[in-house]
Structure 1
Amino acid sequence: MKKEILIIGGGLSGLVTGYLLKKKGNYSIKILEANSRLGGRIYTKKVGSAPIELGATWLWKYNTSLLNLCKELNVNLFEQQMEGDALFEAMSANPPQRFKLPPNQEISYRIDGGTSALLDKLSNELQRCILLNEKVLEFNSSDDKVLVKTPNSTYYCDTVISTLPPKLLVNSIQFSPELPKDVIQISDKTHTWMKDSIKFSVVYDTPFWRKNGLSGVAFSNVGPFTELYDHSNASDNGFALMGFLNGALAPLSLEQRRQKVIDQLTKFFGEEATQHIFYEEKVWRNEELTTFPDNQFIMPHQHNGHIIYQKPFLNGKLFISGSETSKEFGGYMEGAVRRAFNIIENL
């Protein structure tokens, strides 16, 4: 009889975990995703011919587990466009200064068709295993089975693998028996990557910045955006700029943030920056299925990969997984993939 495994969370780590379990062939798998979409902090929005990344975007040559997975699934990569000069704004009273990017910088890569192309490949392998709009509320463990409740259903399994950010896990699911106090305390102070980020993208008809010898890379000490990059697609026929906003702008409305971004882009690149087709953004702190809202400040990557996550709980019936629990590259896509492999090795 196949061992029944229930995976909480349909982000990258959950999908890779399910994919690896299916390959082994001796497990019955269900993946419960609270949202109406897969991906978690991977969120590609298709806008015209330019796939816009409002979540996880880049990978590098040292992301070996992720690179090998992309190769196995025939997911194509392309280099981040960095050719040309960059701009830096030190003070709002002065115009941005032009400078040359270092010639030997580390090459970053993006996924052709958007990061969600990787999710599509994984989910195609797991179609019958995935259930959307299933937010887990309760975890009840007995001697022989685990009972997991959502607003819609009750599931029974042998083992649960949670891929939720640990802070979200301990604050959104009721456990019986309770989790150990030290697990709750560490989880509650574990940083959730992206939770403080506001990502935005502005789509254009042409990459007008390039004709002036600019790469689209820009940095600002005064905001509203702090970093900016060329975000055109792999075929270079869909054009956009993408960056990060100062987190202090989260209380503003979308329209207020959009106007501030366009004003700053105009300062950097001239009047052509006002001729945008679309403005898209994601304020990650507002995503209640990703982050748990409180006023506690947690240092970036705090407790990521903590030793406490490296063992099973509740008599081996619960594994706390996900990118933040990875001992390497915690919070990143590479960490999500490595942790999935690690969990499979320890089941």
Structure 2
Amino acid sequence: MKKEKVILIGAGLCGLYTAYLLQKKGIEVLLLEANTRIGGRIKTITGTTGVTMEMGATWFGNQHRHLLEVLNILELPYFRQHTQGISLFETMSFVPPQKFEISDSEEPSFRIKGGTAKLIEKLISEIGMQHIKTQTKITAIKEDNNQLIVIDAAGNSYSADKVISTIPPNLLVNSVVFEPNLPDAFIQLAKKTHTWMGESIKFSVEYTTPFWRQNHYSGTLFSQASIIQEMYDHSTADNSGFALKGFLNGGTAVLSLEERKEKVIAQLTTFFGLEANDYVAYYENVWREEPLTFQPYEQLVLAHQNNGHSLFKNPLQNGKLYVSGAETATQNPGYMDGAIFAAKTIAAQF
């Protein structure tokens, strides 16, 4: 019996875990990734002090059972997010922030020890790098008899019995030409499907000491008035590296990196004192400027819009093309748990 060959588009968490599951079933897989790096919206960077900082997917909780199951199978340890100390909530720029404490009885959130990229690295080692091809941007998918021909930007073609796309649906229909055309109802749905992380600007500030902890602050901050909208302590599990990390106001994408950095340090100095100005480095990731992740919408698309839509369940191109990814998950869409659930859902059909 001929071994079925499946091509996966996108080597993010969903693509990698789908490949892992299909290989367990004895199916031959090839992952094609447009970027130079593997991981998609999981992007861990390491500072000069050795602290790991997440520019993409970070937290998960006890409700994310699919992800927790995978971490257990792959023997990847995780730890509880630090929340002890005084947290701040700023409602207006001319009023001092309110102080509050997060109770230990609150539902915890977790981070993977050594960074979220540990999950990506583990899956790569399980799948084998020989089954993954980076810098391979797909531009066309054509039906040819009982196969699909996948063509990249360099003109290379790859044939497969089945193709699974795990990139955001809006990006898929705007960057890949299909022959024959996809159904119009699907195209319109994909264009109106929210891409997770797309509007996010993530930032991190690296420090040599956790001065906020020493001053009895948790590092947790919420603001409706300043550039930092949400922030948390981002020190390593073993407390050998220290950082503060969170989300900036999405509207500040129009500013330069230097302008955003200046506003971030000013806000931190106002709230935590002059020690905040003694930082090692500032990092950020404006996800709307990542063309291999985010495609601007043609019209207003709201957060969560059409994520997990039932139409994503149906294979296209005579049952040979599957559309997956975190946005298509019917459970926790957009989250790492959703990416895992989407992978399990697709793999179960093979």
Counterpart among 242, 246, 265 of residue 243 in structure 1: 246
Contact residue 95 and residue 267 of structure 1 kept, 8 A: no
Deviation for aligned residue 1:23: 1.2
Distance 1:100 1:122 in 2: 38
Counterpart among 210, 213, 216 of residue 210 in structure 1: 213
| Partner SS, residue 346 of structure 1 | coil
Divergent runs of 4+, >6 A: none
Query: Counterparts of 1:57-136 in structure 2 under 5 Å?
Result: 57-126=58-127, 127-136=129-138
Deviation for aligned residue 1:11: 0.3
Counterpart position of 2:143: 141
Counterpart position of 1:282: 285
Deviation for aligned residue 1:143: 2.2
Query: Counterparts of 1:178-197 in structure 2 under 5 Å?
Result: 178-197=181-200
Deviation for aligned residue 1:294: 4.0
| Partner SS, residue 125 of structure 1 | helix
For 2:320, the aligned partner's letter is K
User: Residue 291 in 1 paired to residue 294 in 2?
Assistant: yes
Deviation for aligned residue 1:34: 0.1
| Partner SS, residue 238 of structure 2 | coil
For 1:218, the aligned partner's letter is L
Counterpart position of 1:331: 334
Counterpart position of 1:17: 18
- Bigger shift: residues 29-38 or 83-92: 83-92
Counterpart position of 1:44: 44
Q: With structure 2 as the length reference, what TM-score do the two structures score?
A: 0.97
Distance 1:216 1:337 in 2: 30
> CA deviation digits over 1:236-255, x for unaligned, max 9?
11000001000010011111
Q: How many percent identity over aligned positions? A: 47
User: Residue 252 in 1 paired to residue 243 in 2?
Assistant: no
For 1:85, the aligned partner's letter is I
User: Residue 226 in 1 paired to residue 229 in 2?
Assistant: yes
User: Residue 174 in 1 paired to residue 169 in 2?
Assistant: no
Distance 1:339 1:146 in 2: 22
Distance 2:105 2:189 in 1: 39
| Partner SS, residue 186 of structure 2 | helix
For 2:247, the aligned partner's letter is F
Distance 1:190 1:59 in 2: 23
Deviation for aligned residue 1:103: 4.1
Contact residue 82 and residue 218 of structure 2 kept, 8 A: yes
Contact residue 45 and residue 54 of structure 1 kept, 8 A: yes
Deviation for aligned residue 1:295: 5.8
Counterpart position of 1:150: 152
Q: Which residues of structure 1 form unaligned runs of 5+?
A: none
Distance 2:187 2:320 in 1: 17
For 1:139, the aligned partner's letter is I
Distance 2:95 2:298 in 1: 35
Contact residue 88 and residue 97 of structure 1 kept, 8 A: yes
Distance 1:100 1:16 in 2: 38
Distance 2:25 2:148 in 1: 22
Q: Which residues of structure 2 form unaligned runs of 5+?
A: none
Distance 2:92 2:310 in 1: 43
Contact residue 235 and residue 242 of structure 2 kept, 8 A: yes
Alpha-carbon RMSD: 0.9
> CA deviation digits over 1:110-146, x for unaligned, max 9?
0011000000000112211000000000000122111
Distance 2:228 2:327 in 1: 26
Question: What is the number of equivalent residue pairs in this alignment?
Answer: 346
Contact residue 84 and residue 101 of structure 2 kept, 8 A: no
